[in-house]
């Protein structure tokens, strides 16, 4: 079983959210997590400092960490605004270019999941920025309906990784679907609103999914970690990510990119 790591980039800066309710929501969430003893006072202070310093992405830090650990990860960037993703295309241009320059991979963090014309527009924006013709996608909030995968294939995507089910990759016309197996949010915030798990609980849950994957004889296991949480302001999340990488390395799992996994699958398929 090989491991595919990816990062959804939901926010680049704090100030891009000055017109929505995310900042007060974020402060509320921190207050709840602190009152329930899931985060320390020092994390609360660090989070308030992040707001003052306008620091909500940890892309440089994560690129550096993944490279140092030989992880060919993929960063998914939104090329359209929606569902509290509000950064401009110029940011995608800067960061996706940087990710490729550093030898890692980038794809689209999709907003439209139900309209082929809009799906095509997002594809074209990303293709124009990156000059790539083999593009992958993960939907923001993993949104999909019965037609999403067929529409993504129609738009020209080579892979998607949005379906949260524990099963092997499968093909829909020319598109490979890599179901999503391990997600930071599901591991550390099982209620979907705030952190409600300790690091120890998170480790046990993660080990369980990995061993289920082995039992099912999956050739690839996919893991999502948001760059937003690679920070001492979210110390349990950051420690969970680093522990997961260390655990996988100790158990001699190999890391692979989506692109190389597609090549392997095509070889077997042909």
- Closer by beta carbon to Zn ion, 183 or else 210: 183
- Closer by beta carbon to Zn ion, 140 or else 181: 140
Is 160 a binding residue for Zn ion by CB under 5 A? The answer is: no
Among the candidate windows 1-9, 17-25, 203-211, 256-264, which touches Zn ion by CB under 5 A? 1-9
* 3-state secondary structure (DSSP) of residue 255: strand
Helix (H) or strand (E) holding 137: strand 136-139
The position carrying tokens 């480790």 is 203
Contacting Zn ion within 130-149 (CB under 5 A):
140
Helix (H) or strand (E) holding 175: strand 175-177
Among the candidate windows 5-13, 95-103, 198-206, 255-263, which touches Zn ion by CB under 5 A? 5-13
As given in the structure block, the two tokens for residue 254 are 């190999």
Residue 81 Cβ vs Zn ion, minimum distance, rounded to whole Å? 12
Is 7 a binding residue for Zn ion by CB under 5 A? The answer is: no
Is 8 a binding residue for Zn ion by CB under 5 A? The answer is: yes
Tell me the residue ranges of DSSP E strands in 41-110. 74-77, 105-110
Residue 43 Cβ vs Zn ion, minimum distance, rounded to whole Å? 22
Number of residues that bind Zn ion (CB under 5 A): 3
Among the candidate windows 8-16, 38-46, 214-222, 246-254, which touches Zn ion by CB under 5 A? 8-16
Contacting Zn ion within 187-226 (CB under 5 A):
none
CA distance 218 to 229: 27
Residue 68 Cβ vs Zn ion, minimum distance, rounded to whole Å? 25
Among the candidate windows 7-15, 90-98, 127-135, 194-202, which touches Zn ion by CB under 5 A? 7-15
Angle at 258 between CA 104 and CA 98, to 5 degrees: 20
- Closer by beta carbon to Zn ion, 71 or else 85: 85
* 3-state secondary structure (DSSP) of residue 50: helix
* 3-state secondary structure (DSSP) of residue 45: helix
What is the CB neighbour count within 10 angstroms for residue 98? Answer: 15
Q: What are phi and psi of 137, to 5 degrees?
A: -145, 150
2, 197, 186, 53: CA torsion to nearest 10: -90
Residue 100 Cβ vs Zn ion, minimum distance, rounded to whole Å? 20
Among the candidate windows 3-11, 66-74, 97-105, 193-201, which touches Zn ion by CB under 5 A? 3-11
Residue 17 Cβ vs Zn ion, minimum distance, rounded to whole Å? 14
As given in the structure block, the two tokens for residue 232 are 């001492």
Q: What is the largest CA-CA distance in the chain?
A: 56
Residue nearest to Zn ion (CB): 140
Is 46 a binding residue for Zn ion by CB under 5 A? The answer is: no
- Closer by beta carbon to Zn ion, 10 or else 16: 10
As given in the structure block, the two tokens for residue 153 are 């294939």
What residue ranges bind Zn ion (CB under 5 A)?
A: 8, 10, 140
């Amino acid at each position: 079983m090989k491991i595919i790591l990816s990062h959804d980039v939901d926010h680049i800066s704090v100030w891009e959210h000055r017109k929505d309710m995310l900042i007060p929501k974020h402060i509320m969430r921190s207050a709840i997590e602190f009152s329930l003893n899931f985060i320390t006072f020092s994390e609360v202070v660090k989070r308030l400092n992040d707001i003052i310093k306008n620091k909500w992405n940890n892309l440089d830090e994560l690129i550096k960490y993944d490279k140092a650990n030989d992880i060919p990860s993929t960063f998914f960037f939104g090329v359209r605004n929606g569902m509290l993703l509000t950064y401009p295309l110029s940011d995608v241009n800067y960061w996706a270019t940087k990710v490729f320059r550093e030898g890692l991979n980038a794809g689209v963090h999709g907003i439209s999941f139900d309209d082929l014309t809009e799906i095509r527009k997002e594809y074209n924006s990303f293709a124009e920025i990156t000059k790539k013709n083999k593009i992958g996608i993960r939907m923001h909030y993993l949104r999909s309906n019965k037609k999403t995968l067929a529409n993504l294939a129609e738009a020209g995507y080579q892979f998607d990784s949005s379906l949260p089910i524990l099963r092997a990759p499968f093909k829909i016309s020319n598109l490979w679907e890599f179901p999503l197996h391990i997600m930071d949010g599901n591991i550390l915030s099982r209620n979907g609103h705030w952190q409600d798990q300790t690091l120890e609980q998170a480790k046990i849950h993660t080990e369980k999914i990995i061993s289920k994957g082995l039992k099912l004889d999956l050739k690839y296991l996919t893991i999502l970690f948001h760059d937003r949480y690679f920070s001492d302001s979210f110390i349990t999340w950051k420690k969970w990510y680093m522990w997961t990488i260390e655990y996988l390395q100790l158990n001699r799992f190999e890391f692979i990119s989506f692109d190389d996994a597609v090549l392997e699958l095509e070889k077997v398929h042909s």
